Amino acid sequence: MEESKANSFLEQEKIPVLMRKYSVPCIISLLVAALYNIVDQIFIANADYLGSNGNAGNTVVFPLTVVALAVAVMIGDGCCAFVSISLGSGKKEHASRSVGNAVVLSVVTGVVLTAAYFIFMDPLLIMFGGSVNEETFRFAKEYFIYIAMGIPFYVFGQAMNPIIRSDGSPKFAMVSTVAGAVANCILDPVMIYGFHWGMMGAAVATVIGQVLTAVLAVWYLVHMKSVKLEKGSFRLQGSLIRRFLPLGICSFLSQVSLVASMAAVNNMIRRYGALDTVFSQAEYAQIPMAVVGIVMKFFQIVISAAVGTAAGCIPIVGYNIGAGRKDRALSVLKWLLAIEAAVGTFALCVVELFPNALIDVFGAANESSYYTAFAVKSFRIYLCLMPFACVNKAAFIYLQSLGKAFLSTLLSMIRELVFGVGLTLLLPLVFGLDGVLYSMPVSDALTFFISAVAIGYVFRMLGTKRKSPAGTVAGNCPE
């Protein structure tokens, strides 16, 4: 009994303290994961022999790494939510078996994805805008070859990260990811500037960091606290997988639909950039692709903070729902919405006030004035409703932590596919290249109104009074 209640502090500790303990390491882990590709792009952009063509090549490959991340978070977040609910309701054996199954699934899917990437490499690169010019395609392929080799390590490491958090070790989950990113940051300049390995050097540095994260995850699995893995834990059980994977399907679809949105953005940029007076010229053709890629990377940093804050709450909410403490789950939601709004507002101030400083980090000094002008406009338009974007993500993930997989998935699909892809394809018909930039804030605004309805539903559901053992009605417990 004592062992099954190893995480009982989730039902007792003050909510702000728990959120700080779980969300901060999760934020750092996701920020560091996002920095893998961003750091590559910074060093690539500042290498005079790569420049904006190398940047554009990196932008082409980025969605394909997100596909791998989508698989990883589906397995990891689904297992994390299931483990938290299982531990909260005292079903320890279900928790251990789900972790073992998640390990096997992450390894198998990582290998399969790598094989698919090598088989369909050229068509995939073209699909994501690699045909903008010959130089961009060459750089993208060089980078992607080595990135694809590291996909099994990347999927495994990212899938284990939320599982490690669910075991009550958010700091170790953070450290394992940070270790890999630090290795990447150290090796990138050595391989790009020192060895002059170009795109290959950037990719190899990234893969080495991913391998280090995966190795640390393996070490932790052998030393888990609340969950004990046995040989039988790794035997795949269809009935168990069908229970925990749906809890991660929202994370999967939010990432995959983001890939669809990126594909639409990249291809509309290529199409309408070719009709632009400036960017139709061969020497400037890659600029819109490179710039929007940079803007997306900054957005990835902000949304990683938003997702990390919400995802860090999954074990807290899941455990308390499993323990029947809806009052505490509601308290988490109130704190979460306030924090997400603040994160989005701060990021908005940065992009609106300091766009030139942001673009300078990505090698603007080595580019034309057209590059800087389009970058400033892109930052200010594309990211002008980030507070809405952050609150939307919080709503999706919170619903997931409640076990409302269908509703969470539906909202995510509406945002990324219906609005994200649909508006990206439609608005350029009226506004040309600028229409691609308008698609982001319009999508976030429309989704926000739908999210508000979902949040209202959750408030009503969690606000219902629960009966105490003595039969009296208990109100919300003070935090």
The mean pLDDT of 342-362, rounded to a whole number, is 91
Most confident listed range (143-147, 170-174, 276-280, 294-298): 143-147
Mind listing the pLDDT tens digit for each residue in 57-88?
Answer: 888 898 899 899 999 989 998 998 888 878 77
Six-digit token string for 219 = 């070490």
The mean pLDDT of 419-430, rounded to a whole number, is 93
Q: Is residue 29 part of a domain?
A: yes
Name the band, by pLDDT with cuts 50, 70 and 90, for residue 199: very high
Q: What are phi and psi of 107, to 5 degrees?
A: -65, -50
Mind listing the pLDDT tens digit for each residue in 344-353?
Answer: 999 999 999 9
Q: Which residues contact 144 (CB under 8 A, 6 or more apart)?
A: 61, 64, 117, 121, 125, 203
Q: Is residue 472 part of a domain?
A: no
Provide the whole-model pTM.
Answer: 0.75
Residue 246 confidence (pLDDT) = 84
Q: Is residue 453 part of a domain?
A: yes
Q: Is residue 181 part of a domain?
A: yes
Residue 5 confidence (pLDDT) = 54
Name the band, by pLDDT with cuts 50, 70 and 90, for residue 464: low
- Torsion sign (Cα): 157, 161, 162, 166: positive
Lowest pLDDT segment from 115-129, 235-249, 262-276, 360-374: 360-374
Q: How far apart are CA 446 and CA 449, in angstroms?
A: 6
Lowest pLDDT segment from 263-267, 274-278, 322-326, 470-474: 470-474
Q: Is residue 469 part of a domain?
A: no
Name the band, by pLDDT with cuts 50, 70 and 90, for residue 37: low
Residue 470 confidence (pLDDT) = 39
DSSP 478: P
3-state DSSP: the chain helix, strand, coil percent, rounded to 5?
80, 0, 15
Planar angle of CA 343, 348, 353, nearest 5 degrees: 135
The DSSP element (H or E) to which 197 belongs, if any, is none
Residue 473 confidence (pLDDT) = 37
Q: Is residue 397 part of a domain?
A: yes
Q: Is residue 309 part of a domain?
A: yes
Lowest pLDDT segment from 2-16, 163-177, 187-201, 463-477: 463-477
The DSSP element (H or E) to which 404 belongs, if any, is none
What length is written for the chain?
A: 479
- Residue 221, pLDDT above cutoff 70: yes
Residue 6 confidence (pLDDT) = 56
Residue range of the domain that includes 94: 19-462
Name the packing angle between helices 405-413 and 386-401 (round to 10°): 160
- Residue 10, pLDDT above cutoff 70: yes
Higher-scoring residue by pLDDT: 225, 398: 398
Name the band, by pLDDT with cuts 50, 70 and 90, for residue 3: very low
Most confident listed range (108-112, 288-292, 365-369): 108-112
Q: How far apart are CA 458 and CA 474, in angstroms?
A: 19
User: Are 194 and 47 within 8 A, CB to CB?
Assistant: no
Residue 333 confidence (pLDDT) = 92
Name the band, by pLDDT with cuts 50, 70 and 90, for residue 254: low
What whole-number percentage of the chain has pLDDT above 90? 40
Q: How far apart are CA 433 and CA 396, in angstroms?
A: 30
**Average predicted confidence (pLDDT) for the chain:** 86
- Residue 472, pLDDT above cutoff 60: no
- Residue 119, pLDDT above cutoff 80: yes
- Residue 211, pLDDT above cutoff 60: yes
- Residue 1, pLDDT above cutoff 50: no
Q: How far apart are CA 293 and CA 39, in angstroms?
A: 13
Q: Is residue 467 part of a domain?
A: no
Q: Which residues contact 201 (CB under 8 A, 6 or more apart)?
A: 188, 190, 191, 192, 195
Give the total number of structural domains in the chain: 1
